Amino acid sequence: MKKIIHVVGARPNFMKAAPVLAEMGNFPDQFESLLVHTGQHYDANMSKVFFDELGLPEPDVYLGVGSDSHARQTARIMIEFEEILQKHRPDLVSVVGDVNSTLACALTAAKLGVPVAHVEAGLRSFDRTMPEEINRILTDHASDFLFTTETSGNENLEKEGISLSKVHFVGNVMIDSLVRLLPVAQRRWEQAWAAIGASSAEDYVLVTLHRPANVDDLETLGEILEALRRIAADHRVVFPVHPRTRSRIQQLGSPDLDGNLLLSTPLGYLDFMALMSRASLILTDSGGIQEETTYLKIPCLTVRPNTERPITITQGTNQLVAANAEALVEKASEALTSRSVQDTEIPALWDGKAAQRIVDVLRQKWPA
């Protein structure tokens, strides 16, 4: 039996780790799984909601590192995780995504000679000002199993000199969670709509923003808010807001100039998915939401100059848009009147079976 440590640290990791953990659970004679939560996202209530809704087990180890600068947070995780590795002596460490926990645990394992599997490998924005890009590159070069979500990932890894014998195109585990839980989420739509405090159920634009470039720079945030106010003249706009972002908005004055612009508290996975599944348009800066909207065939405007998920643009529903009011209003108007997204194709292997393919690769490495 092989002992696998699965690492999660931030909410986007939970949706990616859950299917792999569940699939490994189908082979109890072959795999022993331990779940380590670094606590990089330290909102206990929100983490618990996501764990419960995704069916994740309670973490075997919770490090509770909390928020800090990139260097201090990464260093704290490495110090704590080294002790975990020395205590449990795993045969493999599985990391997901591109957050600081991903890089910290991959580096620590590699330095101790423990093989690393990177789920969601090979994605590149080619923008090294993004901390996530540095995390992606270094994690991939420290890994022994690289599981890619789209063929651009394979191409990127080959160009960087990584042996293709390590690379496995398996599809998108985030879509595994979406496929499994979408019916549950859709049954909760009325509950989710009531939870955000909306009084009627007309068409709406759903917004999610979290990247520092968009929410920490007050001039940029002001441009985005102005666009939302103008879009709200004709459409309900629903914006679940993280408390940190809300404080930035309050620095700019009253956030609700119009009843059509609704700022709500953050939502759990199922409630957000319920709202997303019926939205007329999504405006976001999230990587995962670019993928989910492509699967759901819902138009998506990504408020970023680049994306590490190019297939969401070339084959999906996603468009990049500048963070200024004129551009956002223009692109939103176009997206809300166009029907072209219905002609998009779901990318290859985004079929809800990516975790099965990941575990098949590992079973071939370690046959029962």
**CATH at residue 229:** 3.40.50.2000
* Residue 275 near residue 289 (C-beta atoms within 8 A): no
Question: How many angstroms from the chain centroid is the CA of residue 79?
Answer: 25
The residues annotated as belonging to the active site are 210
Q: Are residues 8 and 125 in the same domain?
A: yes
The Cα 101–Cα 40 span in angstroms is 7
Q: Are residues 202 and 131 in the same domain?
A: no
Q: Are residues 49 and 150 in the same domain?
A: yes
Q: Are residues 337 and 230 in the same domain?
A: yes
User: Tens-of-pLDDT digits for all 368 residues of the chain?
Assistant: 999 999 999 888 999 999 999 999 999 999 999 999 998 866 655 677 888 899 999 999 999 888 888 999 999 999 999 999 999 999 999 999 999 999 999 999 999 999 999 999 999 999 999 999 999 999 999 999 999 999 999 999 999 999 999 999 999 999 999 999 999 999 998 888 887 876 666 789 999 998 999 999 999 999 999 999 999 999 999 999 987 788 888 888 755 545 788 898 888 899 999 999 999 999 999 999 999 999 999 999 999 999 999 999 999 999 999 999 999 999 999 999 987 788 899 999 999 999 999 999 999 999 87
Q: Are residues 327 and 359 in the same domain?
A: no
Domain count across the chain: 2
- Answer yes or no: is 289 within a domain: yes
Q: Are residues 205 and 337 in the same domain?
A: yes
Q: Are residues 18 and 167 in the same domain?
A: yes
Q: What is the pTM of this model?
A: 0.95
Q: Are residues 192 and 328 in the same domain?
A: yes
CA-based nearest residue to 201, from 228, 163, 231, 236: 236
- Answer yes or no: is 176 within a domain: no
Give the pLDDT confidence score for residue 250 in this predicted structure: 86
* Residue 211 near residue 285 (C-beta atoms within 8 A): yes
Cβ of 250: how many Cβ atoms within 10 Å? 10
Give the pLDDT confidence score for residue 73 in this predicted structure: 94
Q: Which long-range contacts (CB under 8 A, 24 or more apart) does 20-29 make?
A: 20/94, 20/96, 20/119, 20/173, 20/355, 20/358, 20/359, 21/56, 21/57, 22/55, 22/355, 23/355, 23/356, 23/358, 23/359, 24/359, 26/359, 27/359, 27/363, 27/368, 29/1, 29/368
Give Dmax over CA atoms of the chain in angstroms.
62
- Answer yes or no: is 177 within a domain: no
Give the pLDDT confidence score for residue 246 in this predicted structure: 86
CA-based nearest residue to 211, from 140, 315, 289, 154: 289
- Answer yes or no: is 123 within a domain: yes
Q: Are residues 151 and 243 in the same domain?
A: no
Range of the domain at 359: 2-171+350-365
Q: Are residues 261 and 323 in the same domain?
A: yes
- Answer yes or no: is 124 within a domain: yes
The Cα 69–Cα 74 span in angstroms is 8
Q: Are residues 308 and 197 in the same domain?
A: yes
Q: Are residues 88 and 230 in the same domain?
A: no
Give the pLDDT confidence score for residue 59 in this predicted structure: 93
